[in-house]
A = this chain, B = another copy of it.
């Protein structure tokens, strides 16, 4: 049975805070940090703690509803399409393109199988300088 509540996809209960984070992300196509999300919510009148923002973002990431981009110093979050994909990120301006390819999935699965590994997951990030910055 699928959930009809907007926030039920993460955790077991619907809370004001989950809805607020989710709404903010859906309205914003940019990557933003947990701290930025927190400040924006507080400024817009939402009562929410920084810890809670971190936890909700983490849960959303685990559920595949947001992308996580780990920079050297911090982690950035962005609402994303729910299908499996990877990122092509500009080192200069952070412009991001979602990319997908079966070949990589198969390569990862096969490499793992050859060494007797099961329950395989993988992380892939591609970085470069985009055309506009180049």
Residues of A whose CB lies within 8 Å of any CB of B are 70, 88, 90-91, 97, 99, 101, 103-104, 107-108, 111-112, 115-131, 134
Contacts and interface: CB of A to CB of B under 8 A. Distances in A.
Nearest to A109: B126
Count this chain's copies in the assembly.
Answer: 2
B111 A101 contact: yes
The binding surface of chain A is classed by DSSP as strand
Contacts of A131: 115-117
A112 B134 contact: no
A97 B97 CA distance: 30
Given A70-B70, A103-B103, A103-B107, A115 B127 contact: no
B112 A126 contact: yes
